[in-house]
Amino acid sequence: MWHQVFALIVKELLAVLKDRKSRMVLIGPPLIQLMVFGYAATFDLDHVPIAVYDEDQSAASRDLVARFVGSRAFREVASLRSGDEIDALIDSRTVAMVLSIDRRFTRDLLLHRPARVQVIADGRNSNTALLILGYANSIITDFSLAWMQSHGGQTPPTVLDMRARYNPSLSSQWFIVPGIVAVLTQVVTLLVIGLSVARERETGTFDQLLVTPMRPIDILLGKGLPGLLIGGVEATVIILAAILWFHVPLRGSLPALYLGLFLFVAAVTGIGLMISSLAVTQQQALLGAFLFMVPSITLSDFATPIANMPRLIQDLTQANPMRHFLAVVRGVFLEGATAHSLWPHYWPMALVAAASLFAAGWLFRRRVY
Amino acid sequence: MPPVPDAPPAILIDGVTRSFRAGGRTVTAVDGVGARAERGAVTGLIGPDGAGKTTLMRLCAGLLRAESGRIEVMGIDVGRDPAHAQARIGYMPQRFGLYEDLSVRENLDLYAELQGVPASERGARYDELLHMTGLGPFTGRLAGRLSGGMKQKLGLACTLVRAPELLFLDEPTVGVDPVSRRELWAIVGHLTRTANMTVLLSTSYLDEAERCGAVLLMHEGRIIGADDPASFTAGVAGHSFHVSADGIGKRRLHERLAGAPGVVDATIQGAYVRIVTETAAPPSAAILLPDTAAARITPVPPRFEDSFVTLLKARGGAAAAPFRPPAPGRASGDGAEEVIAVRNLTRVFGTFRAVDDVSFSVRKGEIFGLLGANGAGKSTTFRMLCGLLPPSGGTLQVAGYDLRHAAAAARGRLGYMAQKFSLYGDLSVMENLRFFSSAYRLRGALRRERIAWALEEFGLGPVSAATSRDLPLGYKQRLALACALMHQPDILFLDEPTSGVDPLARREFWHRINALAEAGVTVLVTTHFMEEAEYCDHLVIMAQGRILAAGDSESLKARLRTEGHPDPTMEDAFIALIEAAAPTRAA
Amino acid sequence: MSGSFGRLRGLLRKEFLQIARDPSALAVAFLLPAFLLLIFGYGVTLDAHDVPIALVVENPDAVTASVTGKFAQSPYFRTSSFATIAEAEKAMDAHAVTGIVWLREDFTRRMLSAGGAPVGVIVNGMDANSARIIEGYLQQTWANWMQARAAERGAPPPLPVAVQQTVRFNPAVSSRDYLIPGLIAMIMTLTGALLTALVIAREWERGTLEALMVTRATIGEILLAKLLPYFLLGMGGMTASVVMAVTLFGVPFRGSLAVLTGTSALFLLAALGMGLLISSLARNQFVAGQIAIITTYLPAFILSGFIFDIGSMPAAVRFMTHIVAARYFVAILQTLFLAGDVWAVILPNALALAVMAAIFLGVARLGARKRLD
């Protein structure tokens, strides 16, 4: 029996590697996506254009402006002479923020009166606006503390000492790149597996397989194991790219990561085989995979946090294997998680894998035409 | 309108060449073709699949541009002014160009709008077309739900919404049962006679040539003959004979005659073997069958196929090599052993009874044919026998097992060759053989030996590294048969095994099947080709899910034999049976 | 001329009947957009609220009580108390809390010392974006507490600079108000490019286009008959999305409907042009579907400014975004919904859309022949 399964696996891999269409699915798009996702999918502020309206034009105000311009987050693209220009610059999206310094800024500082600074952000991208406000606040707080130190003022009674665990420099890439491992592994496995049975149905070879002495379990294994293999290789390549190219730290145990990967790819393979055995043509399989992929990525924590979703939807995401694998990858990469601590994410994936593989096996025999 | 004597021919093709790039190679589909088709006649473009018929037809319809040469349609240069030419032609592509999710009526409306038929004229025109095609009762049905024959007629009706001067039909009869084929030919004949329409029709069915006014015989991108069909057959008049001999089975007889000196072609025709000789003189029994006493040789009228085969053989077509059939794995017992038993088999889809109370049995070493029109239930029966579909009622046993529930080992005793020669197209010949041998649980030395056997016996050695998708159709068919025989099965299932392949490849195929049957392998075959029915020992003809008739081909033909019709063909017999069962269809 | 009208009418009727009868077209045109709208309307938000944070107070007294009280009152946080930092960190490892506020044993005493008392703040930085937003909330809450304490005692402000924050167009800083407008571009990409590419590839596959080509219909009529239904479908999808956005999700719409309609039409034409081009390159539904997803859907998601800010992308990627039609439309949509008819945004972006539409449709039209080769 293992001999037959092995022959089917060899055939399956040959078919994938020799077919130009499948090769295209495996190699080109994942690489492009890795690069585009890795660099474009970022929430970090990077030289966001701002304008400064400095009415005070003093040493103190210039020091404050210099702190903004000197940070990696901002770059100054306009220096305003009049407050009337602010609206036009923001409306036209020329700048994302305007820093406006009151003309009594230095005087108020020296008199220990609140020295007024206005930060005006464009709310059309509310996320960027929030980040801008956060950055601006911390730059201004730093300025305040430095001012008090150098001018012998009264120091504030308390100071914030902020640290970020797992990702001290708060790099988006550290968050997104491990996520790509999950996204691309799912995309590739789903497409390759999802299309395999549909392709055989289209060409009529599936009937031929069913007529051989192979049992449904043999066919299931022969179709599913290449999925595990391809998904595993694809994931390994991206994991290596994450470590070597994007320099994301790998802190946890590799066995814990690969146990998660195994369960995840098994679950995706099961879902792919289900789609495949329901679809009559490759086109239907492609659309089916797409219809599954869009919700599963949206509800996975990849770019849209699950923690912010309503309770009901959060519960729903428990059935999404991608959500759990994302927790595993990020846990192992950034938190140094171990297999023991990841147990709550392993068993839902195992459950989905078992259910979907079983259903796929059943559909193999039931589905006709 | 009588044909104008000085008018240019309907189609004039001069030195036309067209090639395509496929998988890194350049394939010349049409290679320096010159031909003409006269007005008011049916010109048949005849040749096997891959001969270049579709490309030539698309060139004529202005859908492809020729690399060299020139085509004139109704006196218009198609290459230069396709729109002008297209206004005067009707074109039905393969698969009929229908929108499957539109109803019959909606398809007609669409083409009426596209061809600019005024709404006021449509009513009368639709009535005429619907009457002619017999689609009247089905105007509300979606085209995708029509049977193959009805789709074909709807496709034709759509191209005829505005009567064109010149009608192109690309393989209109492929995959369509004999009754529908005959109906289509009746319509085409009617159009040329009453509407003075010119028709160019392509087909791979050689027997249809005899219905054409003129024939263009195409092979490997070239026209190898152009004449009226009578001239083709006249060229081989006196070359055809029926041979029978006592004390020798038809298959053994066929094998001996095929190798006999002076014989160009030998095919089994029911109880006889039909031969075509090199010379017009009646062959002597002593030369043909030296050690057989009682051989009877009767001259028979020539057929179109005789001349085609003679032409192909003259061009160096390979003669069938002697075939060493594999000994079936567990051959035992005598010829009376019942290998396949079907009792009261029924299959219901929803409320539709696709197979309705069917019973038959197949004995060991027999070639058993399952014939029927589209939708008659033969494919459903076939799939149930293979264990691909569970029956709704009744029992079936193959080699003593119900394959649906049998252990995997039971399936190891049968070989299966699916329609369209289902192979893994991306895999090489060798990889396909390796895979199927493993799937059939061969290993080690036995596996190597069987692969070597397949490469040797089927002449696949030289192409073992070629990607199977790029193989010519004949090779694909050989590879598919080789894969099905890797494990020396006792029973062989063949689903439409030779559709589209050229007549030489078909002969070679049946030569092998005959040898297998002689060696004790039981063969069950479904087919559209009525000539192939002649090879069968036993036939079942199905219609509307039931068995209409059973017996050997001679007894089925005998029912139709009359004074005025002394030698009915299998097709005549088939159509007569179908029409008798459903008299409404004949309208 | 009347013949041309009749042919167009016939082709259009066919196209509408096919859309209505094809489940996969209905799934892409209606099911997926409805899912996306609902999930983004009700589920997806980048705003943190009820963030679970741990309060570690090693030496509770009146001062620490006022600090913890401030955090407990904030709508952004859901607080829980821990006795030691080790326990709190354990809770963070278990993902039970996302942030920790840590008041050490000597907190109250050191408030009077020179350097001030440090408030330890630890956030889970894994999701960098959420972490930054949470940091901002924590910082703001802390500043509020200091301000209130100073005011209570009549002391001068603890920090010399007073920041006045203004968020234009979206004072509540709701991510829904910025995501939903961009989502409309995604939905129109689905019908405009993906669906169009698929249905034309299907006509190639089934040989129906071959039959159409030999009729009197001109190539212009055949193309127009493909564009018009999917144009209407896309505009219908846009209208439905806008109505849902405004009525169901309460996203403000401050621009004019005329500008919305005009720019949507331009974007849709560009998307349809892409769809046409893809289907003429790949006459196979499977390949066409894949190309459409990779060249239109994914870029519309990642490179359009729909979720990720284009301004923060590296220069090379930013440059690439200029060939993504959705980028221009997302900018227009966000402005129309939240700001109004700001011509400085609308005109250049609409011009870019018009140029792209002209190029794609032009190339598609020029490449289209009534021939198979």
Interface size, chain A vs chain B, as Cβ–Cβ contacts under 8 Å: 82
Which residues in chain C are closer than 8 Å to B92, comparing Cβ atoms? Answer: 211
Domain count, chain C: 2
B326 touches B513 (CB < 8 A): no
Phi-psi region of C118 (alpha: psi -120 to 50; beta: other; left: phi over 0): beta
pLDDT of residue A118: 93
Q: Sorting pLDDT into bands at 50, 70 and 90, what band is C238?
A: very high
What is the mean predicted confidence (pLDDT) over B521-537?
Answer: 85
For B216, the 3-state DSSP assignment is: strand
pLDDT of residue A123: 87
Residue A367 has pLDDT above 70, yes or no: no
Mean pLDDT of chain B: 83
pLDDT of residue C337: 94
Flag if B116 and C6 touch (Cβ within 8 Å).
Answer: yes
Among B340, B320, B328, B337, which Cα is nearest to B516's? Answer: B328
Domain boundary among C100, C122, C152: C152
pLDDT of residue A39: 87
The verdict on residue C264 lying in a domain is yes
Give per-residue pLDDT as tens, C99-132.
999 998 888 888 877 677 888 999 988 888 888 8
CATH 3.30.60 fits B236-314, yes or no: no
Residue B541 has pLDDT above 90, yes or no: no
Residue B289 has pLDDT above 50, yes or no: yes
Q: How far, in Å, CA of C44 to CA of A313, rounded?
A: 10
The verdict on residue C165 lying in a domain is no
A260 touches A326 (CB < 8 A): no
Residues C87, C204, single domain; the answer is no
pLDDT of residue B326: 59
Which residues in chain B are closer than 8 Å to C3, comparing Cβ atoms? Answer: 116
Helices (H), ranges, B404-443:
408-411, 429-439
Question: In this structure, what token pair is assigned to residue A290?
Answer: 């797409």
What is the mean predicted confidence (pLDDT) over C63-79?
Answer: 90
Q: Which residue has the higher pLDDT, C335 or C147?
A: C335
Measured in angstroms, the CA of C4 and the nearest CA of chain A are apart by 33
**DSSP secondary structure string for all residues of C172-184:** T--HHHHHHHHHH
pLDDT of residue C247: 93
The residue of chain C nearest to residue A178, with distances taken between CA atoms, is C126
Flag if C286 and A286 touch (Cβ within 8 Å).
Answer: yes
Helices (H), ranges, B5-114:
53-60, 82-86, 104-114
Residues C239, C131, single domain; the answer is no
Residues C348, C213, single domain; the answer is yes
Give per-residue pLDDT as tens, C134-143.
888 898 898 8
Mean pLDDT of chain C: 88
Flag if B411 and A19 touch (Cβ within 8 Å).
Answer: no
Considering Cα of C208, then C212, then C213, then C215, what sign does the dihedral take?
A: positive
Q: Sorting pLDDT into bands at 50, 70 and 90, what band is C330?
A: very high
Q: Sorting pLDDT into bands at 50, 70 and 90, what band is C253?
A: very high
A280: contact with B, CB 8 A cutoff? no
Flag if C298 and A33 touch (Cβ within 8 Å).
Answer: yes
pLDDT of residue C1: 45
Residues 21-40 of C with CB under 8 A from B: 21-22
Flag if C335 and A124 touch (Cβ within 8 Å).
Answer: yes
Backbone angles phi, psi at A132, to 5 degrees: -60, -45
Q: Tell which of B113, B161, B169 to mutate to test the C interface (max C CBs under 10 Å).
A: B113
The secondary structure of residue A274, as a DSSP letter, is H
What is the mean predicted confidence (pLDDT) over C50-75?
Answer: 90
What is the mean predicted confidence (pLDDT) over A58-87?
Answer: 91
Enumerate domains of chain A plus CATH numbers.
Answer: 24-41+171-366 (no CATH), 48-150 (3.40.1710.10)
pLDDT of residue A366: 66
From the number of C-beta atoms within 10 Å of its C-beta (0-12, 13-18, 19+), residue B487 rates as: buried
Of A156, A304, A313, the CB nearest to C159: A156
Of C39, C114, C178, the CB nearest to A125: C178
CA angle C255, A304, C296 (to 5 degrees): 65
Residues C10, C75, single domain; the answer is no
Residues C219, C346, single domain; the answer is yes
Which residues in chain C are closer than 8 Å to B91, comparing Cβ atoms? Answer: 210-211, 214
Which contiguous run of DSSP H or E holds residue A219?
Answer: helix A216-244
Q: Which residue has the higher pLDDT, A94 or B406?
A: A94
> Residue ranges of the domains in chain B?
11-232, 236-314, 414-488
Which residues in chain B are closer than 8 Å to C215, comparing Cβ atoms? Answer: 86, 111, 114-115
Considering Cα of B509, then B510, then B511, then B512, what sign does the dihedral take?
A: positive
Residue type, A363: L
C312: contact with A, CB 8 A cutoff? yes
Phi-psi region of B138 (alpha: psi -120 to 50; beta: other; left: phi over 0): alpha
Question: Could you tell me how many residues make up chain B?
Answer: 587
Q: How far, in Å, CA of B430 to CA of B467, rounded?
A: 9
Domain boundary among C118, C152, C186: C152
Question: In this structure, what token pair is assigned to residue B65?
Answer: 């541009």
The verdict on residue C168 lying in a domain is no
Alpha-carbon distances, residue B585 vs B137, B145, B576 (angstroms): 12, 18, 12
Of A11, A18, A212, the CB nearest to B440: A212
Backbone angles phi, psi at B228, to 5 degrees: -85, 150
Which residues in chain B are closer than 8 Å to A203, comparing Cβ atoms? Answer: 420, 422-425
What is the mean predicted confidence (pLDDT) over C185-209?
Answer: 87
Residue C242 has pLDDT above 90, yes or no: yes
Per-residue exposure over B51-78, b if at least 16 CB sit within 10 Å of its own CB, e if not: bbbbbbbbbbbbbbbbeebebbbbebeb
Residue B584 has pLDDT above 60, yes or no: no
Give per-residue pLDDT as tens, B217-260.
998 889 988 888 888 888 888 888 888 887 777 788 888 887 77
What is the mean predicted confidence (pLDDT) over C275-303?
Answer: 85
Give per-residue pLDDT as tens, A317-341.
999 999 999 999 999 998 888 888 8
Residue C301 has pLDDT above 90, yes or no: no
**DSSP secondary structure string for all residues of B93-109:** -GGGG--TTSBHHHHHH
Residues C179, C294, single domain; the answer is yes
Dmax (CA) for chain A in angstroms is 93
B62: contact with C, CB 8 A cutoff? yes
Of B64, B87, B97, the CB nearest to C208: B97
Residues C242, C349, single domain; the answer is yes
pLDDT of residue A369: 38
Of C17, C210, C216, the CB nearest to B63: C210
The verdict on residue C163 lying in a domain is no
Mean pLDDT of chain A: 87
Q: How far, in Å, CA of B344 to CA of B381, rounded?
A: 11
pLDDT of residue A59: 92
Flag if C10 and B82 touch (Cβ within 8 Å).
Answer: no
Please state, for a pLDDT cut of 70, what percent of chain B lies above it: 92
pLDDT of residue B23: 63
Which residues in chain B are closer than 8 Å to A215, comparing Cβ atoms? Answer: 408
Backbone angles phi, psi at B269, to 5 degrees: -130, 90
Q: How far, in Å, CA of A321 to CA of C281, rounded?
A: 36
Angle between helices C325-338 and C343-367 (to 10 degrees): 150
Flag if B110 and C11 touch (Cβ within 8 Å).
Answer: yes
Measured in angstroms, the CA of A22 and the nearest CA of chain C are apart by 10
What is the mean predicted confidence (pLDDT) over A253-279?
Answer: 92
Q: How far, in Å, CA of A66 to CA of A64, rounded?
A: 5
Of A211, A213, A215, the CB nearest to B386: A211
Q: Sorting pLDDT into bands at 50, 70 and 90, what band is B293?
A: low
Which residues in chain C are closer than 8 Å to B100, comparing Cβ atoms? Answer: 206
Q: How far, in Å, CA of A260 to CA of A238, rounded?
A: 15
pLDDT of residue B4: 53
For B91, the 3-state DSSP assignment is: strand
Residues C24, C105, single domain; the answer is no
Of A7, A203, A368, the CB nearest to B439: A7
Neighbours of B402 (CB within 10 A): 16
Question: In this structure, what token pair is assigned to residue C37?
Answer: 């709208």
Flag if B427 and A15 touch (Cβ within 8 Å).
Answer: yes
Domain boundary among C121, C152, C183: C152
Question: In this structure, what token pair is assigned to residue B433?
Answer: 């053989």
B392: contact with A, CB 8 A cutoff? no
The secondary structure of residue B64, as a DSSP letter, is S
Q: Residue holding tokens 């009559």?
A: A280
The residue of chain A nearest to residue C343, with distances taken between CA atoms, is A92
Give per-residue pLDDT as tens, B474-503.
888 889 999 988 888 889 999 888 777 777
CB contact set of A99 (below 8 Å; sequence gap of 6+): A50, A51, A52, A53, A64, A65, A68, A117, A118, A119, A136
Return the CATH number at C145: 3.40.1710.10
Lowest mean pLDDT among A130-144, A188-202, B8-22, C94-108: A188-202
Neighbours of A168 (CB within 10 A): 10
Interface predicted TM-score (ipTM): 0.84
Alpha-carbon distances, residue B173 vs B72, B153, B156 (angstroms): 26, 10, 11
The verdict on residue C14 lying in a domain is yes
Backbone angles phi, psi at B573, to 5 degrees: -65, -45
CB contact set of A194 (below 8 Å; sequence gap of 6+): A272, A273, A275, A276, A279, A285, A286, A288, A289
Among C326, C329, C271, C266, which Cα is nearest to C299's? Answer: C326
Question: In this structure, what token pair is assigned to residue A29?
Answer: 């798009």
Which contiguous run of DSSP H or E holds residue B542?
Answer: strand B538-543
Of B64, B94, B99, the CB nearest to C373: B64
The verdict on residue C126 lying in a domain is yes
pLDDT of residue B331: 45
Of A8, A18, A214, the CB nearest to B408: A214
Residues C39, C83, single domain; the answer is no
Flag if A144 and C202 touch (Cβ within 8 Å).
Answer: no
Among B532, B495, B539, which Cα is nearest to B511's? Answer: B532
The verdict on residue C320 lying in a domain is yes
The residue of chain B nearest to residue C214, with distances taken between CA atoms, is B86
Q: Sorting pLDDT into bands at 50, 70 and 90, what band is B585?
A: very low
B382: contact with A, CB 8 A cutoff? no
Backbone angles phi, psi at C270, to 5 degrees: -65, -45
Q: Which residue has the higher pLDDT, A144 or B421?
A: A144
Considering Cα of A116, then A120, then A126, then A132, what sign does the dihedral take?
A: negative
Backbone angles phi, psi at B415, to 5 degrees: -110, 150
Q: Tell which of A21, A99, A308 to mutate to test the C interface (max C CBs under 10 Å).
A: A308
What is the mean predicted confidence (pLDDT) over A242-246?
Answer: 92
Residues C95, C116, single domain; the answer is yes
The secondary structure of residue C341, as a DSSP letter, is -
Give per-residue pLDDT as tens, A197-230.
887 887 778 888 888 888 878 888 888 899 889 8
CB contact set of C306 (below 8 Å; sequence gap of 6+): C179, C182, C183, C185, C186, C300, C326, C330
Domain with C212 in it = 2-44+174-367
Residue A244 has pLDDT above 90, yes or no: yes
Residue B162 has pLDDT above 80, yes or no: yes
The verdict on residue C162 lying in a domain is no
Q: Tell which of A22, A209, A212, A281 to mutate to test the B interface (max B CBs under 10 Å).
A: A212
Residue A268 has pLDDT above 90, yes or no: yes
Residue type, B82: P
Subunits next to B (3 or more Cβ pairs <8 Å) are A, C
Flag if A170 and C125 touch (Cβ within 8 Å).
Answer: yes
What is the mean predicted confidence (pLDDT) over C33-58?
Answer: 87
Flag if B114 and C212 touch (Cβ within 8 Å).
Answer: yes
Selected from 3.20.20.450, 3.40.50.300, 3.10.20.340, 3.30.1360.120, the CATH number assigned to the domain covering B11-232 reads 3.40.50.300
What is the mean predicted confidence (pLDDT) over A155-175?
Answer: 82
Subunits next to A (3 or more Cβ pairs <8 Å) are B, C
